[in-house]
Structure 1
Amino acid sequence: MGRWGITLPLTAVPLAEHRDLVRELPDLGYTDVWTAETAGTDAFTPLALAAEWAPELRLGTAIAPVYTRGPGLLAMTAATVAELAPDRFVLGIGTSSPVIVRGWNAQEFTEPYARTRDTLRFLRSAFAGQKVTERYPTFEISKFRLERPPQPPPRIMLAALRPGMLKLARKEADGAITNWLAPSDVPKVRAEVGGGFELVARVFVCPTEDVDAARGLGRLLISSYLTVPVYAAFHDWLGRGEALKPMHEAWAAGDRQRANEVIPDEVVDALIVHGSPRRCREIVAQYVESGLDTPVISVLPTGEDPRKVVRALAPE
Structure 2
Amino acid sequence: MSTRWGMTVPLGGVPLADHAAVFAALTDAGFTDLWSSEVAGTDAFTPLTLAAAWQPRARLGTAITPVFTRGPGLLAMTAAALAEAAPGRFQLGIGASSPVVVGDWNAADFTRPFARSRDMLRFLRAALAGELVDQEFETFRVRRFRLERPPALPPALLLAALRPGMLRLAAAEADGVILNWLAATDVSRALTEAKSDRPGFDVVARIFVCPTRDADYARTVGRRMIAAYLTVPAYAEFHRWLGREAGLGAMWTAWAAGDRRGALAAIPDEVVDELIVHGSPEECRDHVATYAEAGVKVPVMALVPTPELENADPATLTALLTKLGRP
> Which range, TM-score by smaller chain?
over 0.9
The question of 1:15 aligning with 2:16 is answered yes
**Is the Cα contact below 8 Å between 2:158 and 2:177 reproduced in 1?**
yes
Aligned positions of 1:237-252 closer than 5 A: 237-252=241-256
1:202 corresponds in structure 2 to 206
TM-score by length of 2: 0.94
Give the match's secondary structure for 1:59. Answer: strand
- The count of residues paired between Structure 1 and Structure 2 equals 316
2:313 corresponds in structure 1 to none
**Is the Cα contact below 8 Å between 2:157 and 2:175 reproduced in 1?**
yes
2:25 corresponds in structure 1 to 24
Tell me the percent identity: 59
Give the match's secondary structure for 2:307. Answer: coil
The question of 1:311 aligning with 2:322 is answered yes
- Displacement of 1:312 after TM fit? 2.7
The question of 1:229 aligning with 2:230 is answered no
Q: Which consecutive residues of structure 1, in runs of 5 or more, have no partner in the other structure?
A: none
- Displacement of 1:206 after TM fit? 0.6
- Displacement of 1:255 after TM fit? 1.3
Equivalent position to 1:268, from 272, 277, 284? 272
Name the CA distance, whole Å, in 1 between partners of 2:303 and 2:324. 9
Return the letter of the residue paired with 1:52. Answer: A
**Greater alpha carbon shift after TM alignment, 303-312 vs 94-103:** 303-312
1:63 corresponds in structure 2 to 64
- Displacement of 1:257 after TM fit? 1.1
2:261 corresponds in structure 1 to 257
- Displacement of 1:154 after TM fit? 0.4
Q: Which consecutive residues of structure 2, in runs of 5 or more, have no partner in the other structure?
A: 311-316
- Displacement of 1:292 after TM fit? 1.0
Give the match's secondary structure for 1:311. Answer: helix
1:138 corresponds in structure 2 to 139
- Displacement of 1:30 after TM fit? 0.5
Give the match's secondary structure for 1:304. Answer: helix
2:176 corresponds in structure 1 to 175
1:84 corresponds in structure 2 to 85
Equivalent position to 2:285, from 276, 281, 285? 281
- Displacement of 1:242 after TM fit? 2.1
**Is the Cα contact below 8 Å between 2:157 and 2:176 reproduced in 1?**
yes
Report Cα offsets for 1:243-275 as digits up to 9, x if no partner: 111101111111111111100111000001111
**Is the Cα contact below 8 Å between 2:172 and 2:196 reproduced in 1?**
no
Return the letter of the residue paired with 1:260. Answer: L
Give the match's secondary structure for 2:179. Answer: strand
Return the letter of the residue paired with 2:245. Answer: G
Aligned positions of 1:80-159 closer than 5 A: 80-159=81-160
1:42 corresponds in structure 2 to 43
**Is the Cα contact below 8 Å between 1:299 and 1:310 reproduced in 2?**
no
- Give RMSD over aligned pairs: 1.1
TM-score by length of 1: 0.98
**Is the Cα contact below 8 Å between 1:65 and 1:93 reproduced in 2?**
yes
2:187 corresponds in structure 1 to 186
Give the match's secondary structure for 1:68. Answer: coil
**Is the Cα contact below 8 Å between 2:29 and 2:321 reproduced in 1?**
no
Aligned positions of 1:297-308 closer than 5 A: 297-305=301-309, 307-308=317-318
Name the CA distance, whole Å, in 2 between partners of 1:253 and 1:312. 43
Name the CA distance, whole Å, in 1 between partners of 2:241 and 2:204. 19
Report Cα offsets for 1:157-181 as digits up to 9, x if no partner: 0000111001000110000001011
- Displacement of 1:305 after TM fit? 3.2
- Displacement of 1:195 after TM fit? 5.7
Return the letter of the residue paired with 1:314. Answer: G
CA pair 195-126 structure 1, distance change in 2 beyond 3 A: closer
Name the CA distance, whole Å, in 2 between partners of 1:311 and 1:100. 33
Name the CA distance, whole Å, in 1 between partners of 2:241 and 2:47. 34
